[in-house]
Structure formats: structure tokens, C-alpha cells
Structure 1
Amino acid sequence: MKNTMKSVVLVTGLLARAALWVAGVGLVAMTALIAAQVFWRYILNDSIIWTEPASVMIMGWFIFLGAAVGIREGYHLSFDVMLYLVPERVKLILYSISDTAVAGFGIGMIWFGWQLAAKTAANKLPGLGISGAFDFAPLVAGGILVVLFSIERVARRAAGLPTARFGEDAVEQ
């Protein structure tokens, strides 16, 4: 199981790296669009109508993809004070409970994001001319990654592999 899990860790590591690259490119693209909008508005006294909705959509992508990678790497918020007082075995159980709760939140992101996308699919986004469902695609994609990475963390712990979490060492990739 440990060797299989190491292969899974490599694949999810590549997926996380790809998500982080997409998020980084999105951040740069959003910054460029906002800069162009400011230039057009204040220097050329005109406006590009599609930059604001496009920037907001791109922001959704880099927020949710980056958050999912943060969960995989153990950077999400947690309350660690009690962990100083409990034995190592209890810590591992509490980490797994936390990761399971995070996976449940990811399932909620998928479920409700999909419902929102379905309800807005017939609407057209002004300025972009695309379906309103695209506004909620990052929520669904981020939720899928949150669930995947949370399950990976629990499985890594079950296989005896460390995870990147406060007080734990990360697996070398």
C-alpha cells in the first residue's frame, strides 16, 4: 500500500503544481487586465467593458485553486493548541478528523456550486457574452481538488506516510 500511495502522492503533487501554476498565471492575467482597464479609463478616457467581469472570474479561479493546494500542503486554518497536549497517536486521529471535515466542505462546494451553475446557465454575463455558469466553475473545480487532496491526506496517514501539516514532516517528492 505504501508504494501505491507514493505513486498517488506523485500524481496529486503534479496536479497540485499544475493548479498552482494556473492560479499564478491567473493572478498575473488579472493584474494585467486591471492595469489595462485603468490605462484605458484614465489615460485614453475610454473603457474596456469586459475586463472587470473577466478579472472577477479569473480571481475565482486563483482563489479556489490556490486554496485547494493550500489544503494539500497543510496551510489551511486550524486550531492547534490542543495538539501540544495530546499523544502522537491522538494527533494523527485529530488530523484525519480535520481532513475529513475539510473533505465534507469540499463536497458542499461541489454540490452547491453545481446548483448555482445550473441555475445561472441560461444567463449571459454582460460584457463577456458567456453563460453565467462559468462564474461558478471555479467553485466546483476547487471543491473537487479539496476533496481529492483531503482524501489523499487521510490515505497518506493511513499508509504511514507523513503529510505536510503543522508538526509533521512532508513527503519528499
Structure 2
Amino acid sequence: MNAQIEPGAVHLPPMTGWLTRVNAPLAKAGMILAISGLLALVAIVFYQVFGRYVLNDSPSWTENMAIVLILYVTMIGAAVGVRDAGHIALDSLTVLLPYRWQRVMELIIYCTICVFGAAMAYNGWRLGWSVAPYLMPNLHVTEAVRYIPLSAAGVLIVMFSIEHIFAIFRGAEVVPSWH
């Protein structure tokens, strides 16, 4: 099946360099972790339902574990979505602009995402430290476990946004990690 090339579409060379060599495996590992977490989440919820309705003895730890896994899956998945440009974008508006202004808008968007990621990392770290002395019921681990994905995803979002910013200045394209 031949792919149709849109008239006027600009095809950029792939982004290369040390940041891409670091970010591409990180994004792929994040994707694998998010998928693994999602599979574990399904298994835990199935076990909880099986325990409740079949065994009439619902395990007490499954609800808290499911909540923690949802945080990891969504945060890490969101960070990978930034690198692979899978986030919600304003394509419907930016495609109407001339190519040069499209790149300017992309630069503004990725700078804004970078600031947002830095805020996530910083505030996730602060929140994690503030609840670190407390234990999660039924799991017996620190409450800070809930904030690790927020901080980690924030750092990844900053790294992935910087890669996109470098790509804009170099006139290159960040190739998604699953290619």
C-alpha cells in the first residue's frame, strides 16, 4: 500500500545526536513499563473481582495497588506521548499557517510543555517528600510512591521537549521510539 504524500508537506530529516541516543531508549523503556503496568493493572483488577464475587474474600491490597499503577501508567505514558508527539496538538490551527510560523508555534508549544514538565517534576518531588513518613494502607510502603511517577514523568517531559526544541532549530524531526 503506497502512502500518499500531502501536497505542500515538508519532510524533515530524522533528529540525531546525543540527546536522541539517550531519549529514544528512555521513551521505549517508558512505553514498555506503561504497557506492563497496564497489563498488571488488568490482572490485579481481575483478581480483585474474582476474590470478591467468586471467593467472597476480596484482597485488601488490590485497590491501593491499582491506584498506584494507574498513576505510573498515565504519567509515564504521557511523557512518552510528548516525545512521540502523541499529545493533543493544535494541528487544526497551525496547519493553516505558513511553514515558518508552524515551526514558531511548535517552538512555543514545546517550551510551554518543558515548563509544565519542570513544574511537575519539582512539585511531585516536594509532595513526595511531604508525605514520605506516612505509609499506604494495605501496601505498607511510603505514600511517596504515589508521587514518584509525577516527578519522573516531569523530568522525562523536560528531556523530550528539549529534544523537540533542538530538532526545530536543526530543521529535523524526532522519530517516534516505536519506529
Scaled by the length of structure 2, the TM-score of the pair is 0.86
Q: Which residue in the other structure is 1:148 paired with?
A: 159
Distance in 1 between the 2:61 and 2:156 partners?
A: 28
Task: Tell whether the 8 Å contact from 1:27 to 1:62 is kept in structure 2 after alignment.
Answer: yes
Q: CA deviation at 1:3?
A: 10
Aligned residue number for residue 115 of structure 2: 104
Alignment correspondent of 2:9: none
> Which amino acid is the alignment partner of residue 88 of structure 1?
Y
- SS of 2:17's partner is helix
Asked whether the 8 Å contact 2:15–2:173 carries over to 1, the reply is no
Q: Is the 8 A contact 1:157 1:163 kept in 2?
A: no
AA at the equivalent of 2:42: T
Rounded Cα–Cα distance in structure 2 between residues aligned with 1:148 and 1:74: 13
CA contact (8 A) 2:28 2:178 kept: no
Higher mean displacement: 146-155 or 2-11: 2-11
Cα offsets for 1:115-143 (capped at 9, x unmatched): 11011101110000011101111111111
CA distance in structure 2 between the aligned counterparts of 1:74 and 1:157, rounded to whole angstroms? 13
Asked if 1:33 is matched to 2:33, the reply is no
Is 1:128 paired with 2:142? no
> Percent identity at matched positions?
32
SS of equivalent residue, structure 1 residue 119 = helix
Q: 1:11 to 1:131 in 2, by over 3 A?
A: same
User: What does residue 50 of structure 1 align with?
Assistant: 61
In the alignment, what sits opposite 2:5? none
Q: Match for 1:118: what amino acid? A: W
Paired residue for 1:113? 124
**Alpha-carbon separation, structure 2, partners of 1:3 and 1:78:** 20
How big is the alpha-carbon RMSD for the aligned residues of Structure 1 and Structure 2? 2.2
Q: Which runs of 5+ in 2 are unaligned?
A: 1-12
> Which aligned segments of 4 or more residues in structure 1 are displaced greater than 4 angstroms?
170-173
- Structure 2: distance between partners of 1:130 and 1:39: 25
Q: Comparing both structures, which one devotes a greater share of its residues to helix?
A: 1
- In structure 1, distance between residues paired with 2:178 and 2:71: 30
Aligned length: 167
What's the TM-score, normalizing by structure 1? 0.89
